């Protein structure tokens, strides 16, 4: 008894506890905002920071006094958790806003139809880079999807607990952790050894991206295949369907929407990669339709190049960089959206 | 250390769905009250509303009055945290915290309020609670091992020890034996008989014999059909409910004609 | 394909013969699995082959060409890589855990999933865009903070030294990196938090714990291994991140812990990205060798993460 009732003995009703009124946090927030504006000198960042600090500390002290230590800690945790979430929205809003604001200036028809061949200063576009991105990512997808899909099938359907399966799982994990620049260096080194030093072309870029993409595909597809209920497989076996046909006609169709969305998300994950392509696919100012010959510009590298090596005046180059950045964001978000919609819309009815 | 619970015209909702309708009942202190009835009849919902645990599900709320020795559990200014401290609960499946030792599990609730408990004091409390749950002899040599290493029945008694370490007024048990084997069930039932000397105990059970064996009073819940709210059909001394119930549906249920 | 003639195989109990379809398909998928091992081995071998000249060439030959000895050259970059990633974690981990908790346990259920997507959007922004944002927006915005910290907290060793006039410091870089690794850590933490058994949460609540106490009693112990692996994954990402560092940081080959000054230790990845396009001869080999060092560092982090998780999993008993 002595231990449990130290707070409840205060009030007549043992169930009640000191409580701040419901409007207290809102009043506190208002007050904190005023304090923030006064002491922050009307600067957004400083005012917000001061207001947040005043609010969190003030409410904690108030709650400590009225509601006791445990309630006060609960409130403190709640305010910090909410604050962290709002904090994370700052860069999201900031980056999207600035990309739209600076990118719209050059997001016009010439941007998508002209390359940078013979362009100095204004005008020009990123057609060569957009084509390059399509080539490189397309080839990378063509390499990664079969390997990734089949590996996932091996792991989920054939490997079981064998040493080989465990080894592959481990090395897929290792591969997930390969830094993108290292993938680029690998592609460079491979091309250098196969075709002579300094061979930099679209294929090299595609190989670099494949190294990044394969583990993503394996992971997501394997996970999906494991969700497919065993009853389906057993039902097929019981009908005398051989294993490979069961996989092709029962297991994969069941998981197909997830597989497609996994592949799309994997593409979205690599399409914005810059560093490996700088190393393995290189730079150029003109359209190159041959992935096996000569350097190939890609959209992320175009953005970097326009920013890092502007001509004079610099502004048109930076405008193009932002337009490229906005295009890239839109592509990646679109791919993400499509992937998510496919996954959600066509998913077989599962537990969750 | 044992209090009377009184419900007056209690309705329990999950969002717009009315799960339990118009319950009025009195649960006497120092006795065992059993809630019986078919699945989905609202007896677990009723039990969980007694310590405001049903609020954990978003959108759940109650209308009407629920009094603990005259104080409304849902009155303004009432803190669910305080309610739960005074009305302990044991769940259907034993749920000791897997990362805590046996002793830490017993003291988990107390530590919240009393951060600096002395070592000897903590030992005493833990021993008393474990003795109260008839578990002391079995675990006294391995108090610092994880609670998840115990058998199912022992884990459930550990959960009871954890609840009674808080010295609650009321102990709620939501089908405490449904995941246990017959021998462990017997141990829990014996324990319930001992605990009723000091606590008000409310137990939900699907097992009619168990209700007959352990309870002093029995409340029978039923629903008219799926989607309809559960209702309290009849409540009275267990002897009477199991021999000469007033309602036909109670008799049907008890004699196994449905449910 | 005779495999579809079910009746035949059913009625006659001939010894099972391996079907061609199964052999081909099983073989193909096994081959793909093995190809992963081959690719990784190739990564290691080719990198090593291209890196060797930088490691084996006599130091005086290297010095003659103006490169200097390899290990002395790479060490500051290795330091910069780890230091920037560590600072980024310092910022990102508390924020990520907070967001994950917000989505799993605080936000209204209906909103939670959409809010989760919102955070995932941060992962959809390509790193080169973060680079642009960092250099054009964040660095100038944080520059006053450099002055303020240096003025009032300059006694603290990390904040000592002359503050940068551009904001292109490891301080700013750490913020950019933190934003980039935040979505990964958040989404992994969110997953494990959501998997906390309801039974344990209710056990904590039934003992009369507040929401925060329930989280500490039931959620965190259950999620500990998951949090560690999420952090390690974020660390791996931060170590390998290239463009944002290359664009934001005004780096050099120095080793010191001061975060506000003009002289910042560059990272391996950024150094490669900045110098590779113009490199030739032994320089290429040297850069590739530094890439190998980066690979080994990230590999070590990954293996460490795996080891911690497996050790914790045995001990926690959380199924």
Max avg pLDDT among A32-41, A117-126, B231-240, C58-67: B231-240
Residues of C in contact with B89 (CB under 8 A): 202, 206
In the predicted model, what is the mean pLDDT of chain A?
A: 85
Can you give the pLDDT at residue C5?
Answer: 45
- Residues of chain B with Cβ-Cβ distance to A1 below 8 Å are 1, 167
Where would I find the H helices in A21-160? Answer: 24-39, 44-67, 69-103, 109-113, 127-153
Partner-chain contact B56 C208, CB within 8 Å:
no
CB contact under 8 A, A15 and B82: yes
The CATH number for B194's domain is 3.40.50.300
Q: At what angle do helices C220-240 and C282-316 cross, to 10 degrees?
A: 180
Q: Which residue has the tokens 């919240």?
A: B112
Q: Which one of C109, C202, C210 has the shortest CB-CB distance to B81?
A: C210
Instruction: Give the CATH number for residue C262.
Output: 1.10.3720.10
- Minimum-distance CB partner of C291 among A94, A154, A185: A185
Q: For residue C140, what are the domain limits?
A: 57-316
Whether A110 shows a pLDDT value over 90: the answer reads: no
Mutate to test the interface with C, among A179, A217, A314, A329 (most CBs of C within 10 A): A179
Which phi and psi angles does B33 have, rounded to 5°?
Answer: -110, 130
Whether residue B1 and residue A6 make contact (CB cut-off 8 A), yes or no, is no
Confidence of residue A347 (pLDDT cuts 50, 70, 90): low
Q: Which residue has the higher pLDDT, C132 or A28?
A: C132
Q: Which of C207, C218, C317 sits opposite B166 (nearest CB)?
A: C207
Is residue C16 in some structural domain? no
Q: Give the count of domains, chain B.
A: 1
Instruction: Verify whether the Cβ–Cβ distance B78 to A1 is below 8 Å.
Output: no
Distance CA A109, CA C242 (A): 31
Interface test with A, best of C33, C95, C177 (most A CBs within 10 A): C33
Does residue B109 form part of some domain?
Answer: no
C137 located within any domain: yes
Residues of B within 8 A of A13 (CB-CB) are 71, 75, 77-78
Scanning C259-298 for CB atoms below 8 A from B yields none
CB-count burial class (<10 Å; 0-12, 13-18, 19+) for B36: buried
Question: Which residues of chain B fall short of a pLDDT of 50?
Answer: 259
Average pLDDT over residues C129-149: 91
pLDDT-based confidence at residue A309 (cuts at 50, 70, 90): confident
pLDDT in tens, A249-263: 888 888 888 899 889
CA gap A63, A72 in Å, rounded: 5
Model pLDDT, residue B1: 61
* pLDDT higher than 70, residue A6: no
Interstrand relation of C264-265 and C251-252 (parallel, antiparallel or unpaired): parallel
- Residue C36 domain flag: no
Domain ranges of chain A: 8-105, 113-345
Residue B125 forms part of a structural domain = no
Question: What's the mean per-residue pLDDT of chain C?
Answer: 84
Residue C36 contacts A, CB cutoff 8 Å: yes
Give chain C positions within 8 Å (CB) of B96.
203
CATH T-level assignment (fold) for domain A113-345: MetI-like fold (1.10.3720)
- State how far the alpha carbon of C202 is from the alpha carbons of A34, B88, B92, B110, C144, in Å: 40, 11, 11, 16, 48
Task: Give the pLDDT confidence of C48-96 residue by residue, as tens digits.
Answer: 888 888 888 777 777 767 667 788 888 899 999 999 999 999 999 999 9
pLDDT band per the 50, 70, 90 thresholds, residue A5 = very low
**Is B155 a member of any domain?**
no
What residue numbers bound the domain in which B227 lies? 5-99+169-254
Q: Alpha-carbon dihedral of residues A229, C24, C39, A255, nearest 10 degrees?
A: -20
pLDDT at A290 over 70: yes
B153 touches chain C (CB under 8 A): no
Let me know if residue C161 belongs to a domain.
Answer: yes
Whole-number pLDDT of residue A249: 85
The secondary structure of B73-134 as a DSSP string is TTSTTB-HHHHHHHEEEE-SS----TTSBHHHHHHHHHHHH-SS--HHHHHHHHHHHHHHTT
Answer whether residue C300 is part of any domain. Answer: yes
Answer yes or no: do A1 and B1 touch at CB < 8 A: yes
Residue C3 within a domain: no
Q: Which residues of C touch A180 (CB under 8 A)?
A: 240, 242
Q: Does C232 contact chain A (CB < 8 Å)?
A: no
The number of folded domains in chain C is: 1
Could you tell me which chain A residue has the CA closest to the CA of B52? Answer: A15
- Confirm whether C39 is domain-assigned: no
Residue C318: predicted pLDDT: 40
Closest partner residue to B95 (CB to CB) among C199, C209, C224 is C199
């Amino acid at each position: 008894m002595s231990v449990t009732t130290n707070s409840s003995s205060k009030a007549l009703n043992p169930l009640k506890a000191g409580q701040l009124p419901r409007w207290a946090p809102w009043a506190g927030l208002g007050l904190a905002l005023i304090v923030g504006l006064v002491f922050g000198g009307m600067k957004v960042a400083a005012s917000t920071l001061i207001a947040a600090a005043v609010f969190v500390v003030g409410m904690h002290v108030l709650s400590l006094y009225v509601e006791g230590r445990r309630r006060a800690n609960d409130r403190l945790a709640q305010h910090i958790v909410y604050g962290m979430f709002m904090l994370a929205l700052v860069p999201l809003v900031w980056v999207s806003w600035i990309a739209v604001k600076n990118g719209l200036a050059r997001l016009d028809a010439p941007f998508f139809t002209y390359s940078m061949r013979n362009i100095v200063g204004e005008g020009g576009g990123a057609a060569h880079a957009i084509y390059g991105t399509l080539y490189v990512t397309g080839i990378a997808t063509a390499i990664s999807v079969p390997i990734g899909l089949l590996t996932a099938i091996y792991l989920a359907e054939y490997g079981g607990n064998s040493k080989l399966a465990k080894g592959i799982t481990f090395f897929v994990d290792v591969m997930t952790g390969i830094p993108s620049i290292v993938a680029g260096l690998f592609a460079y080194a491979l091309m250098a050894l196969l075709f002579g030093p300094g061979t930099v072309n679209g294929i090299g870029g595609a190989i670099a991206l494949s190294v990044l993409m394969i583990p993503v595909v394996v992971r997501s597809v394997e996970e999906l295949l494991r969700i497919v209920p065993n009853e389906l497989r057993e039902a097929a076996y019981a009908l005398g369907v051989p294993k490979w046909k069961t996989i092709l006609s029962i297991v994969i169709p069941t998981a197909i929407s997830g597989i497609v969305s996994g592949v799309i998300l994997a593409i979205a994950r690599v399409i914005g990669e810059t560093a490996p392509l700088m190393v393995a696919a290189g730079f150029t100012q003109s359209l190159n339709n041959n992935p096996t010959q000569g350097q190939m510009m890609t959209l992320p590298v175009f953005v970097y190049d326009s920013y890092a090596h502007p001509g004079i005046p610099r502004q048109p180059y930076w405008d193009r960089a932002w337009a490229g950045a906005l295009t890239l964001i839109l592509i990646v978000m679109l791919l993400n959206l499509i992937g998510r919609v496919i996954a959600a819309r066509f998913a077989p009815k599962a537990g969750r | 250390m044992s209090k009377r619970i009184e419900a007056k015209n209690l309705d329990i909702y999950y969002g717009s769905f009315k799960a339990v309708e118009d319950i009025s009942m009195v649960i006497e202190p120092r006795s065992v009250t059993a809630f019986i009835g078919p699945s989905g009849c609202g007896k677990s919902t009723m039990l969980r509303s007694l310590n405001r645990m049903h609020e954990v599900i978003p959108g759940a709320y109650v209308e009407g009055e629920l009094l603990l020795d005259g104080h409304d559990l849902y009155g303004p200014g009432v803190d669910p945290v305080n309610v739960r401290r005074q009305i302990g609960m044991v769940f259907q499946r034993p749920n000791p915290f897997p990362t805590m030792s046996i002793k830490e599990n017993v003291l988990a609730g107390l530590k919240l309020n009393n951060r600096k408990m002395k070592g000897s004091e903590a030992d005493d409390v833990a021993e008393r609670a474990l003795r109260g749950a008839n578990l002391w002899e079995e675990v006294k040599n391995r108090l610092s091992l994880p609670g998840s290493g115990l058998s199912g029945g022992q884990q459930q008694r550990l959960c009871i020890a954890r609840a009674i370490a808080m010295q609650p007024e009321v102990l709620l048990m939501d089908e405490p034996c449904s995941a246990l084997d017959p021998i462990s069930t017997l141990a829990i039932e014996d324990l319930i008989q001992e605990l009723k000397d000091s606590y008000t105990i409310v137990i939900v059970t699907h097992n009619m014999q168990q209700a007959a064996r352990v309870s002093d009073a029995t409340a029978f819940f039923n629903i008219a059909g799926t989607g309809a709210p559960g209702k309290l059909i009849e409540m009275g001394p267990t002897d009477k409910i199991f021999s000469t119930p007033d309602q036909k549906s109670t008799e049907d249920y008890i004699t196994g004609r449905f449910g | 394909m005779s495999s579809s003639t079910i009746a035949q195989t059913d009625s006659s109990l001939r010894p099972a013969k391996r079907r061609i379809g199964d052999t081909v398909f099983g073989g193909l998928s096994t081959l793909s699995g093995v190809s992963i091992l081959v690719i990784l081995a190739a990564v290691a071998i080719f990198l090593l082959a291209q890196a060797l000249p930088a490691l084996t060439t006599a130091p005086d030959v290297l010095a003659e060409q103006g490169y200097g000895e390899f290990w002395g050259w790479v060490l500051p970059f290795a330091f910069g890589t780890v230091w920037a990633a560590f600072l980024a974690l310092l910022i990102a981990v508390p924020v990520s855990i907070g967001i994950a908790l917000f989505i799993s346990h605080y936000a209204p259920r209906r909103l939670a999933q959409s809010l989760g997507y919102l955070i995932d959007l941060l992962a959809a922004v390509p790193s080169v865009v973060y680079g642009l944002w960092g250099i054009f927006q964040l660095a100038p915005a944080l520059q006053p903070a450099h002055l303020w910290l240096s003025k009032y907290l300059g006694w603290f060793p990390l904040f000592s030294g002359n503050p940068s006039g551009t904001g292109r410091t490891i301080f700013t870089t750490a913020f950019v990196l933190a934003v980039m690794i935040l979505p990964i850590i958040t989404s992994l933490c969110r997953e494990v938090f959501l998997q906390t058994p309801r039974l344990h949460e209710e056990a904590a609540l039934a003992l009369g714990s507040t929401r925060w106490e329930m989280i500490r009693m039931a959620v965190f112990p259950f999620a500990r291994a998951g949090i560690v692996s999420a952090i390690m994954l974020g660390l791996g990402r931060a170590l390998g991140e290239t463009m944002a560092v290359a664009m934001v940081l005004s780096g050099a080959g120095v080793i010191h812990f001061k975060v506000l000054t003009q002289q910042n230790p560059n990272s391996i990845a950024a150094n490669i990205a900045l110098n590779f396009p113009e490199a030739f001869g032994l320089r290429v080999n040297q850069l590739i060798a530094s890439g190998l060092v980066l690979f080994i560092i990230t590999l070590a982090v990954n293996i460490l993460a795996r080891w911690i998780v497996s050790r914790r999993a045995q001990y926690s008993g959380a199924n």
